[in-house]
Amino acid sequence: MSTFGARLRAAMDDRGPLCPGIDPHAGLLRAWGLDDTPAGLERFALGAVEALGPVSSSLKPQSAFFERHGSRGIAVLERVLAEIRAAGALAILDVKRGDIGSTAEGYADAYLDPASPLAADAITVSPYLGSSSVQPFVEAAARHDRGLFVLALTSNPGAGQVQHARAGERTVAGTVLAELAALNAGAEPLGSYGAVVGATIGETAEDLAINGPLLAPGVGAQGGTPEAVGRIFGDQVRNAVPSSSREILSAGPDLGALRDAAARTNDAFRTLVG
């Protein structure tokens, strides 16, 4: 199997960069005429994958909205991950995990080992317990040809409080980005160790040239736009993976309308990349 970075590069070149998010908020279930139950969750999430999976390079289910339905929600997430792959898209599971090394190994087994029912192509990881807490995920990703997106410059308004703080010669975010650049050194056509850099952060002085994918959530409902993504990523925009959840999902329940909404956003980003 090729690396995650190579699979993502090929998929983005083929289908465009947009990564629609699957965030089954209770309010969205109701807007689609569904109950806020595991059955409603299943209809919603599988409908979204049916509409968006065949036309997207990747999809990003948000684990929280499946976990809140308990074990039946997790069972739906397992199906969603399988259906994303069956549709020829890459599954980026947004779980933002990070823990002491021995526990991080457990999480890595759960989400990156292909033998696990919850295995994804890539997951989001939090580095705020320090680099050693990310290491088990790095090793598992390398072993299984999977990818990571490590939180660097997140889209939430208070993110700078921690991420812009200085840690020696660099900021905290700069340290995360430099470590990812080292992990991706020499990888072609793209490394498998990505960063999360929100579409809402304005401009940044940080070096985004990590030779890896740059997941950019915050498009749409949080105010991120293709123009903003162009400004933030500059010459790295070809490696940006813009992500939008609520704005696209609110075009449902009609699956054609949902697909059209994603196509419009994807086309705007394709134009940006050129």
Ligand X SMILES: O=c1ccn([C@@H]2O[C@H](COP(=O)(O)O)[C@@H](O)[C@H]2O)c(=O)[nH]1
What is the SS3 assignment for 76?
Answer: helix
Q: Is 158 exposed, middle or buried (0-12, 13-18, 19+ CB in 10 A)?
A: exposed
Among 220, 226, 242, 253, binds ligand X (CB under 6 A): 220
21 touches ligand X by CB under 6 A: yes
Copy the structure tokens of residue 138. Answer: 């790095």
Q: Contact with ligand X (CB under 6 A): which of 6, 10, 129, 221?
A: 221
Q: Is 171 in the site for ligand X (CB under 6 A)?
A: no
Catalytic residue among 96, 97, 144, 146: 96
CA distance 260 to 265: 9
Q: Are 34 and 40 contacting, i.e. CB atoms less than 8 angstroms apart? A: yes
| Nearer to ligand X (CB atom), residue 143 or residue 264 | 264
The answer to whether 94 contacts ligand X (rule: CB under 6 A) is: yes
242 contributes a contact to ligand X by CB under 6 A: no
213 binds ligand X (CB under 6 A): no
DSSP state, 62? B
Whether the Cβ atoms of residue 91 and residue 52 lie closer than 8 Å to each other: no
Task: Please indicate whether residue 60 is annotated as part of the active site.
Answer: no
The DSSP result for 117-164, as a single string, is TT--SEEEE--TT-HHHHHHHHHHHHHHT-EEEEEEE-SSTTTHHHHT
Beta carbon of residue 203, minimum distance to ligand X (angstroms, whole number) = 16
Q: What's the closest the beta carbon of residue 44 comes to ligand X, in angstroms?
A: 14
Q: Which of 17, 23, 80, 239 binds ligand X (CB under 6 A)?
A: 23
Q: How far is CA 49 from CA 76, 102, 116, 256, in A?
A: 12, 34, 20, 12
Among 135, 246, 251, 270, indicate the residue that binds ligand X (CB under 6 A): 246
How many CA atoms are closer than 13 Å to the CA of 99, on its beta-carbon side?
10
**Contact range with ligand X by CB under 6 A, out of 43-51, 225-233, 240-248, 257-265:** 240-248
Among the listed residues 3, 58, 62, 265, the single contact to ligand X using CB under 6 A: 62
**Least distance to ligand X from the beta carbon of 48, Å?**
13
Q: Bridge-partner residues for 21, per DSSP? A: 60
Q: Quick one: 191 or 242, whose CB is closer to ligand X?
A: 242
Q: Tell me the window of 44-52, 67-75, 182-190, 212-220 that interacts with ligand X (CB under 6 A).
A: 212-220
DSSP letter string over 209-231?
--SS-EEEE-BSTTSB-HHHHHH
| Of residues 4 and 149, the one with the C-beta less far from ligand X | 149
**Quick one: which segment of 5-13, 220-228, 251-259, 262-270 binds ligand X (CB under 6 A)?**
220-228
Contact 46, 4 (CB under 8 A): no
Task: Pick the closer one to ligand X by CB: 127 or 217.
Answer: 217
For residue 271 the two structure tokens come to 């134009």
**Residues involved in catalysis:** 96
Give the footprint of ligand X on this chain (CB under 6 A). Answer: 21, 23, 62, 94, 154-155, 196, 198, 217-218, 220-222, 243-246
